[in-house]
Amino acid sequence: MDADLILLNGRFHTIDKAQPQAEAVAIAGGEFVAVGDADEVMRYRGSATQVIDLQGRTVIPGLNDSHLHLIRGGLNYNLELRWEGVPSLADALRMLKQQADRTPHPQWVRVVGGWTEFQFAERRMPTLEEINAAAPDTPVFVLHLYDRALLNAAALRVVGYTKDTPNPPGGEIQRDAAGNPTGLLIAKPNAMILYATLAKGPTLPRELQINSTRQFMRELNRLGVTSAIDAGGGFQNFPDDYAVVDQLARDKQLTIRIAYNLFTQRKGEELQDFKKWTEMVTPGQGDDFYRHNGAGEMLVFSAADFEDFLQPRPDLAPGMEDELEAVVRHLVFQRWPFRLHATYDESISRMLDVFEKVNRDIPFDGLHWMFDHAETISLRNIDRVRALGGGIAIQHRMAFQGEYFVDRYGSDAAKQTPPIARMLEAGIPVGGGTDATRVASYNPWTALYWLVSGRTVGGMRLYDHSAVLPRETALELWTVGSAWFSSEQGKKGRIFVGQLADLAVLSADFFSIDEDSIKSLESVLTMVGGQIVYAAAEFTSHAPPAIPVLPDWSPVKQVSGHYRAFALPHQCASACGVHGHAHDVARRSSMPISDHGGFWGALGCSCFAF
């Protein structure tokens, strides 16, 4: 067989215990057909084979986010100003002001998750006064984790919150001494008030939602992500809100493999939703790029225990078991995989009671099911999950909320939150993910940094040596581990003959760089099914055509995705006559490059307008 493509002179970390490393691979028909040394692989070279020299770069299997809200996030990506990785509140407020100045009426400026005040040099939240000063006329909505949202005066006017607006169930509109809303919305105990308010904002028209979704996928490709499991989400209705990704799949424009779950939207009518959907689609329906994956992460509203460590743990409603049992019985009978959002061990115990009861009547018998999050799951309940054949999809939400958890429950409790090492010791499937975009960052390297360092994004050490993971193990969770959660184990997750040729060539060696540098990693060459979907640095000539960002005022056009602090500034200093001095000053003084008028990426700078 002649290969379509051969990659030579790489340091391939295959996640294959029989052959953990290789120096070359051959790809044909979207799969790996040879993995080994150069002489062995070059036997697959034909007259039409493309050969790329990786120049000693580290290569890993494509990263697979086992819990990402990609579909909803894609529809809104071009609308959102991201504060992921921004080093100071001063930078964040400057970005907010600049975006407010360019955003046309009636659009909003939205900062929706992926940041925490502990990442800022100032170690504090923005004030309402600062947000109003930065944007006196353009509506601004700033979401902070699951716990609160900040609205400026212009946003309060357009959403219609006044002195006479009552507090919705489970939420609070903070008021001043005269009873007028201040602009602070507080989740007590759930985030519905936050998400319902965000949903009042203008949306993009269909053609721009397509562009927005493509931009989000490109950003994920830049970070080495090649697959994701979409966990549904609030205000993500099936099939209407899936139309954009459906079209991209038909047009073969997906650059991320997506397995999607269906998330009920109607409180009190959850069983009706799933009865309707089990008649419409079947698990696995689709192809390797876009396929149905079952139910969840919301199965019934009464079983949702929102994670907000600023509030006491919520008790689930007394009637939760009956509602959950009805839905789970239907799903198991239909052989639908399912996943369920669960933070607290107390909730998990009650949910497992339901699962075990259903299993006695309708055996799960190998059906893939899973908990999402499971931050405080006990060893006893880990064993119960294993006995029922379940898995746990973990995310780095503690990296953003660890300080709050420690304040409420203490540092000793935080040392095993979540108890990932114990899960792995028990032998249950564990997959890595982010839960982006409304709480944690979509950046997989932030998650991998958390797994191997045991630290929050603010630098607090949560875990001791026994709880952090070796880098090889952390990478396994994000590759072969996540494949189980879409029933695709054996198909992807390794650089292995016969598996899908998804890989990322890294900007630095994940296995040897210092822990802090992990957060700055990205891909310089990302391939999905043997096709190049992203390329930079020495591989720029292989990059697919650029996709223009629409609309023209989009924040993504100004700050392309995750804020990238300066890196390798000597490259720019030697090549850029305008900004080189400023970048060199930033390197020597450890100042964010935005203080000098640009945003420095790991592979270049804003003065090159890339």
Q: Which of 21-25, 86-90, 191-195, 481-485 has the lowest mean pLDDT?
A: 191-195
Separation CA 565–CA 578 (nearest Å): 19
User: Stretch 96-102: mean pLDDT, rounded?
Assistant: 97
pLDDT the model gives residue 563: 66
Q: What is the mean pLDDT of the chain?
A: 91
> What is the widest separation between alpha-carbon atoms in the chain?
80
The rounded percent of the chain whose pLDDT value lies above 90 is: 87
Condensed to tens digits (0 to 9), the pLDDT of residues 548-560 reads 999 999 999 987 5
Chain segment 163-213, per-residue pLDDT in tens? 999 999 889 999 999 999 999 999 987 888 999 999 999 999 999 999 999
Query: Taking 70 as the threshold, does the pLDDT of residue 55 lie above it?
Result: yes
Element of type H or E holding 528: strand 523-528
Q: What is the pLDDT of residue 589?
A: 30
Confidence of residue 596 (pLDDT cuts 50, 70, 90): very low
Span 89-116, average pLDDT: 96
User: Which of 78-82, 246-250, 583-587 shows the lowest per-residue confidence on average (mean pLDDT)?
Assistant: 583-587
Query: CA end-to-end span of the chain, whole Å?
Result: 38
Q: Are 474 and 15 in contact (CB under 8 A)?
A: no
* pLDDT greater than 70 at residue 92: yes
Scored b (16 or more CB within 10 A) or e, 570-597 reads eebbeebeebbebbbebbeeebbbbbbe
Q: Residue 324 above 90 pLDDT?
A: yes
Cα distance between residue 248 and residue 232, in whole Å: 18
Q: Specify the pLDDT at position 306.
A: 80
Summarised one tens digit per residue, pLDDT across range 210-241 is 999 999 999 999 999 999 999 999 889 999 99
How many residues make up the chain in this entry? 610
Residue 444 backbone zone (phi > 0: left; psi -120 to 50: alpha; other: beta): alpha
At what angle are helices 243-250 and 206-222 packed, to 10 degrees?
Answer: 70
Please tell me whether the peptide bond between 444 and the residue prior to it is cis, using omega within 30 degrees of 0.
no
At residue 46, what is the residue type? G
User: Average pLDDT, stretch 133-141?
Assistant: 98
| CA–CA dist 443, 600 (Å, integer) | 17
Q: Which domains does the chain have, with CATH numbers?
A: 5-62+502-542 (2.30.40.10), 68-198 (3.10.310.70), 207-486 (3.20.20.140), 564-608 (no CATH)
Examine the pLDDT at 303 and tell me if it is beyond 70.
Answer: yes
Write 540-544 long-range contacts (CB < 8 A, 24+): 542/52
Band (pLDDT 50/70/90 cuts) for residue 314 is confident
Rounded to whole angstroms, how far apart are CA atoms 532 and 535? 7
Residue type, 229: I
Helix 320-333, helix 270-280: angle, nearest 10: 10
Tokens linked to 444: 């997989």
Residue 433, strand partner residues: 395
CB 265 within 8 A of CB 234: yes
Q: How confident is the model at residue 454 (pLDDT cuts 50, 70, 90)?
A: very high
Say what the pLDDT of residue 234 is: 86
